[in-house]
Amino acid sequence: MKKLYTLVITLFIMIVIAGCQSEEPTPDPEPLTYLNPVYEPVFADPSVIRHEGIYYAFGTQDYGQWGDEYGVRYIPILSSLDLVHWTYETSAFTLQSRPTWGTLNAGLWAPDIVKIGDTFNLYYSLSTWGDPDPGIGVATANHPLGPWTDQGPILRSLQIGVNNSIDPTVFEAEGKVYMIWGSFRGIYGVELTQDGLALKDGINASDTKTLIAGLDTSTSWNGATYEAPYILKRENYYYLFLSSGTCCDGHNSTYNVRVGRSTNPMGPYLDHDGRTMLGTYRGFQVLIGSGYFKGPGHNSIAQDDEGNDWILYHAFEVVESPTFGNSPRRSLMVDKIIWNDQGWPTVFGSMPSNSEQEVPNITPRA
């Protein structure tokens, strides 16, 4: 009996050991990936905000380039839970509700979405190509999806004394609200009222505005200067992202993103070589075109739940670019920002990614 008991115990131990040896460790799951572009056929000049766990992106009026039954989208709005899968939601305006205070047939370009207090402010450019008096206006809503109520113009080019007054970016700093704007005729800054709906100095703002980057507005158009400003506050610096080159020449576009920084919201902004951004060909290189994507630029920045920064921008895809007529369209792109040891931002290789990338680290909504 004792031998039988010993045999049973021995067999049991052998079975347990064999079972343990046959168990393979569970491998770590493969990381989720995405591939640029993240939204097609067209989404130019993106501005992004996160509200209640959802990212919302606002883009330039598209003139019916989607080729569907909805026609023109007057500032299209997308939503996403992860920054890489985007869904069209609505437009900020309709044909009937769109602002019409600008030049005849002016389009709604280069929006900027900001929350000030409990109100969402949607800044927009109202302009045509070659417009002698474009301007910047603002609409308000209680939610990123609207409904949006237009509050009219904040400034126009002739009033403020800045040629080609488009491309606004608005931000809060040190208890004040600022707007920086401009397009190849000087990048300027000015203080707004606390609600962000008007110039703090009113009609005197033309005298109190500050030249931030590029050349004075009295100089001629110069593609080696800048447009599309965007401000990111990180640690002790305000980072001024700017786009330079040609934005809209399809596969011949030379658009690229550069950055300078300052400890003061109104500058002076310096580049990595200590040069002021008041000039041409200045700034630390963030993004430049490649053989796969041309003309990357006009960026916004969003954070994931780990605090990583992601740059959202538009670019022309070279091989399979969606077209409208015979012209390629600008699609939505996203890449992770890498901060170097000196505190300057770029992306891997300084070019748009063209292979699978790990998705942003975002906790799923409950």
pLDDT, one tens digit per residue, over 275-332 is 999 999 999 999 999 999 999 999 999 999 999 999 999 999 998 777 766 678 999 9
The answer to whether position 21 is within a domain reads no
Residue, of 82 and 4, whose pLDDT is higher: 82
- Predicted confidence band of residue 5 (pLDDT cuts 50, 70, 90): very low
Q: What gap in Å lies between CA 310 and CA 273, rounded to an integer?
A: 24
Q: Which residue has the tokens 């580049």?
A: 271
Does residue 11 surpass a pLDDT of 70? no
Asked if the peptide bond before residue 37 counts as cis, ω within 30 degrees of 0, the response is yes
Span 123-145, average pLDDT: 98
At residue 25, the pLDDT reads 58
The answer to whether position 365 is within a domain reads no
Long-range contacts of 177-182, Cβ-Cβ distance < 8 Å, separation of 24 or more? 177/116, 178/231, 178/265, 178/266, 179/123, 179/136, 179/154, 180/212, 180/229, 180/231, 180/240, 181/136, 181/229, 182/212, 182/213, 182/214, 182/217, 182/226, 182/227, 182/229
Q: What gap in Å lies between CA 272 and CA 284, rounded to an integer?
A: 6
Span 12-24, average pLDDT: 47
Does residue 2 surpass a pLDDT of 90? no
Helix, strand, coil share of the chain (percent; to 5): 10, 40, 50
Which segments of 182-292 are extended strands (E)?
187-192, 210-213, 227-234, 237-244, 256-262, 284-287
Asked if the peptide bond before residue 322 counts as cis, ω within 30 degrees of 0, the response is no
At residue 177, the pLDDT reads 99
Q: What gap in Å lies between CA 318 and CA 294, rounded to an integer?
A: 7
At residue 132, the pLDDT reads 95
The rounded mean pLDDT for the chain is: 92
The answer to whether position 1 is within a domain reads no
Q: Tens digits of per-residue pLDDT, 50-82?
A: 999 999 999 999 987 777 777 899 999 999 999
Range of the domain at 73: 38-358
State how many domains the chain has.
1
Q: Which residues are catalytic?
A: 45, 227
Q: What gap in Å lies between CA 125 and CA 136, rounded to an integer?
A: 5
Q: What gap in Å lies between CA 135 and CA 147, rounded to an integer?
A: 22
Q: Which residue has the tokens 């962000």?
A: 196
Give the pair of three-digit tokens for residue 101.
């205070």
Span 73-101, average pLDDT: 97
The answer to whether position 13 is within a domain reads no
- For the domain that residue 68 is a member of, what is the CATH number? 2.115.10.20
pTM value surpassing 0.95:
no
| Percent of the chain whose predicted confidence (pLDDT) is above 70 | 90
Q: Tens digits of per-residue pLDDT, 145-177?
A: 999 999 999 999 999 999 999 999 999 999 999
HSE-CB for 120 with a 13 A CA cutoff: 22
The answer to whether position 283 is within a domain reads yes
The answer to whether position 125 is within a domain reads yes
**Contacts of residue 36, Cβ cutoff 8 Å, sequence gap at least 6:** 293, 315, 333, 334, 335, 352, 353, 354, 357
At residue 328, the pLDDT reads 84
